[in-house]
Amino acid sequence: MNKEARQVPFSQVKCSAVGWPELVVGILGFYAVGWTIYALFGVLATDPVLMGALQSWLAGLATLGAFGLALSLRVRRLAPFGLNRTTPKWLLLGALGGAAVFLLRGILLPPLVELFGLATDSQSDLAGGAQGGIVALVATGIGIAIVGPLGEEMLFRGVIQTALVRYGAVISTLASAAVFALIHGSVSILTPIAFVVGVLTAELYRRSGSLWPAIVAHVVHNAPTVFLYALL
């Protein structure tokens, strides 16, 4: 069996070389790559449909780029960042967890909006891509439901949570979820929802020892959003 593909218990991650240098490079890299791509999108796209489709890829490309920078720094192996094999049971649990949080989101949104008066969506520009025809819808869907979850879990769980696990499960879980939530808009209703998603995926990663259940949960949670943008 390939050593890179072998499942590694999360408890052993404490001995990993992933640490503060990877965390700092990952966060700084996210902003550097993200703003660079955003500026490039602004030059390339003036049409709201094209801009919406491009922006659906922004978070995924920024986090994938940041992960690549953290990966190349010292470790240069995927396994210490949680990209290990897992079991069908954990993938199923990830899918069920993602669906449950999406349903919870629908229940919590109205009272949270009413209570705090927060903006309902800081990513409303993405609707332009979802409503721009079949090609734009598919491109937007891939960005929101596949590229985004893949890159975000690789950065926020694979880098940040892994780097912080030496301080304990509570700190690593809550800290990675908090950073993930703040990235999604500090004045939006997405912030508490993203925090719940972050806690779910962090716990799936911690308990399974693999990022794949967390990625599946994130994909399942994000996918219905594409259809909501298209319809609304």
Segment 18-68, tens digit of pLDDT: 999 999 999 999 999 999 999 999 888 778 888 889 999 999 999 999 999
Phi then psi for 135, rounded to 5 degrees? -65, -45
DSSP 8-state code for residue 80: G
What percentage of residues in the chain have a pLDDT greater than 70?
86
For the stretch 6-9, contacts whose Cβ atoms lie closer than 8 Å and that sit 24 or more positions apart, written own/partner, are 6/79, 6/84, 6/85, 7/84, 7/85, 7/86, 7/209, 7/210, 8/79, 8/80, 8/84, 8/209, 9/209
* Residue 194 belongs to some domain of the structure: yes
Q: Tokens in use for 128?
A: 């332009």
Lookup result for tokens 């972050």: 198
* Residue 188 belongs to some domain of the structure: yes
* Residue 126 belongs to some domain of the structure: yes
Task: Write down the pTM of the prediction.
Answer: 0.90
Name the more confident of 112 and 73.
73
pLDDT confidence of residue 170: 96
Write out the residue range of the structural domain in which residue 187 sits: 17-78+86-231
* Residue 8 belongs to some domain of the structure: no
* Residue 10 belongs to some domain of the structure: no
What mean pLDDT is predicted for residues 172-185? Answer: 92
pLDDT confidence of residue 2: 43
Number of domains, the chain:
1
Cα gap 122→133, rounded to integer Å: 22
Average pLDDT, the chain: 88
Angle ∠(179,229,150) on CA atoms, nearest 5: 40
* Residue 2 belongs to some domain of the structure: no
Cα gap 224→135, rounded to integer Å: 17
What mean pLDDT is predicted for residues 132-146? Answer: 92
